[in-house]
Structures are given as C-alpha cells and as structure tokens.
Amino acid sequence: MDDNMSYDDTTKIDERQHEITIKSRRVDPPSHYAFQIDSYSVLSQIEMKKCESGDFEVDGYKWKLILYPNGNEEVEDHISLFLAVSTNDNNLPLGWELRVIFRFFIFDQIRDNYLTIQDGKMRKYSKMKSEHGFTHLISHNVFNKASSGFLVSNCCTFGVEVSILKASNKGERLTILKEPQQDTYFWTLYSFSALKQPFYISEPFNVKGRKWRMEVYPHGNSLGKTSHISLYLKLDSSETIPLGKKIYAKFILGVYNFSAKKYIDKSYEHWYKTPGHGNGFDEFLSRKEISTHSQNDAFYLKARIVAMSTVEEF
C-alpha cells in the first residue's frame, strides 16, 4: 500500500517486509506516556542514531521509548519506534518474562488528534529480548509533509499505551452431558379442577447430583394467565451456582392426552443462573383442552432432561 495515504478516520493496513500494522485515528491522547521532541531536524543533522525517552512506569515496571529518526539498521526511509523495558532499574527475578501488547501514537497538530499504530500482537519481553517495536512506523515522506500535521514548527510528539497480559491461571471446564437422566420423572395432580393456588411445585428429582422440580400454574402465568396451563422446570432453590456461571439444560415437558393415549411433549432449553426460578412454557396447554388431558380429574405430567451441563472451575 502506498505510504502517502491520508490517514483519515478509517483503519488502514500497511505491510512492509512482513510487518503488518493497523493505523487509525482517535482524539484521546496516549494514556501511558507522551514523548515530545523539539528541534526535531537536529536529530538528523547530527546523525543521531537513536533517541531515548526517560523512564516511565506501567503496572510496576519501568519502560522507555526508543526512536530511530532515520530507521534502525533494517531501513533508511522510515522512522522506527520501539518500546523497551528497563532491565537495570526493574527488580526482575531470574528467568523473568512479560507478555505485552502495545500501541504507538503520533500527534497530528493540525487536526488535533492522534494517528495510532498497532498490530495487536503479543510480544514476549525477557532478558534476551528487552525491546520490541516497528521498523516501518511511518515513512519520512509522510511524516515530513507539512499537510500531515506530524511535524509542525520542528516539533513532534510520539506516545505509547502498554497492556501487560497477566495470566490468572483461572478457568472452567464445561461438559455437556447427553441423556443424563436415567428415568423420566412423572408427577400426578389429583382433583385438578379444584386447585386454587396460583402454582404448585413437584417433589425434587435428582439428575447428576442436581435437584430439579416441575412447576405448574393451573390457571396460567404471564402470557398464559387465565387462558392456558403454564408449565416450567426449575433448579431447586437449595442448589448453588458459582457466581457468574450458568447451568445449561435441554428438557422435555409433557402432559398426558387420554384421547390420543400418549404424552404431548414440548422441548425447551435454557441457561440457568438463578436457582428457584422456573423456565419453560407460559402457554403449554389451552385450558379449553383440559378435558382431553385429564381422567377422573387427575392430571399427569412428566419431565425429562435430555442434556445438561456441568461446570468445574480450575
């Protein structure tokens, strides 16, 4: 790609000798360090090979910027910029290693915003490799062009943001169990037409160490209130779910149809995060169809969990 690009607010990708950088614009200044250089042309006049900033601290480590005005040993027509960790002032243990992602900045003094340059890659800093950066940060042609706004009155500003990746060594192991329930759970409600309470809850049944219950609203709930029978499956309120975690369940709920001589099933899936709260069907069965689903005023229900997750933290 031509390095004489205008660098507007859209993201650019520049590839030079296997070095891919993403360039974009933003108004906010670098949050960690800005390196302003006055009399910039003097650096080239005196043939300064590299210009180092003072130390600055990020996450307890001391860093510095290393600028190569005429490029490092690999290039001549570009500015090179590197981020180095100070190996002298940091109290680093034997065999230390830091994993870092950084973003460089160049201040556009005309447009009052910053050109950001990054590639999103993680770099490993160690005693053997204490600095990383971009050899082709920006070409001399673009940087020196008056309309670019990077060099005004012989003054320029570079910057950096540093993200140190720290391993928490925490995670979870998710397992989805297929057909974890050995036997279908059956529940019978007698004198169904005489039930007056808003809802009724079954006895608990155990599936792979977790207690579940069915919950029925004879006169409906939510969208099905007064018009339907609502039917749900819920984790027993005695169950616990680790903070921020969920339990997956795919299940079948059914009501026996005496005319068809079989259960009428409906399938549902849900990620449970709150024990004691039911999930399922507001409109499982129209109350107009109750006569075909009860005998001697008995109502037969069933529940079967066909898939369920287990979570193990580590």
Is 44 within 8 Å of 67 (Cβ atoms)? no
Domain with CATH 2.60.210.10 in the chain: 12-165, 172-313
pLDDT score recorded for residue 263: 96
Element (H, E) at 128: none
Summarised one tens digit per residue, pLDDT across range 172-224 is 889 999 999 989 999 999 999 999 999 999 999 999 999 999 999 999 999 99
Q: How many of the other CB atoms lie within 10 Å of CB of 113?
A: 18
Helix, strand, or coil (residue 287): helix
pTM: 0.60
Higher pLDDT residue, 20 or 135?
A: 135
Range 68-76 contact pairs with CB under 8 angstroms and sequence separation of 24 or more:
69/40, 69/43, 69/44, 70/44, 71/135, 72/135, 74/17, 74/135, 75/135, 75/136
What is residue 199's DSSP assignment? Answer: -
Examine the pLDDT at 109 and tell me if it is beyond 90: yes
β-strand pairing of 113-118 with 19-26: antiparallel
Fold of 172-313: 2.60.210
CATH number of this structure's domain 12-165, picked from the four choices 3.30.70.1290, 1.10.10.10, 2.30.30.100, 2.60.210.10: 2.60.210.10
Summarised one tens digit per residue, pLDDT across range 254-294 is 999 999 999 999 999 999 999 999 999 999 999 999 989 98
Q: Which residues contact 69 (CB under 8 A, 6 or more apart)?
A: 40, 43, 44, 48, 50, 51, 79
Q: How far is CA 54 from CA 34, 86, 126, in A?
A: 10, 10, 20
Q: Label residue 19 by pLDDT band (50, 70, 90).
A: low
Q: Label residue 141 by pLDDT band (50, 70, 90).
A: very high
Calculate the CA 40 to chain-centre distance: 42
Cα–Cα distance for residue pair 8/115, rounded to 1 Å: 9
Cα–Cα distance for residue pair 50/59, rounded to 1 Å: 26
Burial pattern 130-163, b for ≥16 Cβ within 10 A else e, equals beebbbbbbbbebbeeeebbbbeeeebbbbbbbe
- DSSP secondary structure of 161-178: EEEEE------EEEEEEE
Examine the pLDDT at 111 and tell me if it is beyond 50: yes
Q: What are phi and psi of 227, to 5 degrees?
A: -105, -20
Cα–Cα distance for residue pair 37/158, rounded to 1 Å: 8
**Token digits for 238?**
């005695």
What is residue 296's DSSP assignment? Answer: T
